[in-house]
Amino acid sequence: MLRYVPTLCLCCVLLWVSTACAPLQTESAVPSEHGYRVSLHVSDPLIYLGPGRPTLPQAAVLVVRVRDAQGQPVDGISVRFSVEPSWTQNASLTPAETLTRNGEARASFQANTIGVVHVMAQVDNVTREARITIDTPPSPSGGGS
């Protein structure tokens, strides 16, 4: 029995590490009026203003995935990206409207002020929403006098 303890501990550690490295769960796909499954994914839900450090994201990429009832990517579907009305002067989505290719449509999000913004993607009658936080870069650590 004692000889199995190290193996059991290793298995538990591997299980714990593998769940920590798993991708974040995104919202499930919702069917549109034409039966397409629509999902929205955000590359970086936390972005930073200003010159900051090159390792900190200053923009987020929104990816809408459109699939048919069989799970196959659907091309040529119009996707409109937008932000909540109070953010229209402080944020940009490029492009604001595009068509899916290989079942995906992408837009780049940038902002010029800090806060939390809700971004939306609309396909047919379905609107998917995500939240992006914009902050200032953290102060470099270890810079004591």
Q: What is the structure's pLDDT at 24?
A: 42
CA–CA distance from 140 to each of 6, 36, 46, 134, 143 (Å)?
41, 46, 18, 18, 7
| Residue-level pLDDT at 93 | 96
Rounded to 5°, the CA angle 74-78-82 comes to 125
Question: What dotted CATH number matches 27-135?
Answer: 2.60.40.10
| pLDDT value, residue 10 | 53
Residue 34 confidence (pLDDT): 79
Rounded (5°) CA angle 50-90-63: 85
pLDDT of residue 32: 76
Strands 104-111 and 30-31 come out as unpaired
The side-by-side arrangement of strands in the sheet containing 115-123 is: 46-48, 126-135, 115-123, 78-83, 97-99
- Coil, strand, or helix at residue 102? coil
One pLDDT digit (tens) per residue for the chain, 145 residues: 566 555 555 555 555 544 444 444 445 666 777 789 999 999 999 999 877 677 889 999 999 999 998 999 999 999 999 999 999 999 999 999 999 999 999 999 999 999 999 999 999 899 999 999 999 988 776 444 4
* Three-state SS sequence of the chain: CHHHHHHHHHHHHHHHHHHHCCCCCCCCCEECCCCCEEEEEECCCEEECCCCCCCCCCCEEEEEEEECCCCCECCCCEEEEEECHHHCCCEEEECCEEECECCEEEEEEEECCCEEEEEEEEECCEEEEEEEEEECCCCCCCCCC
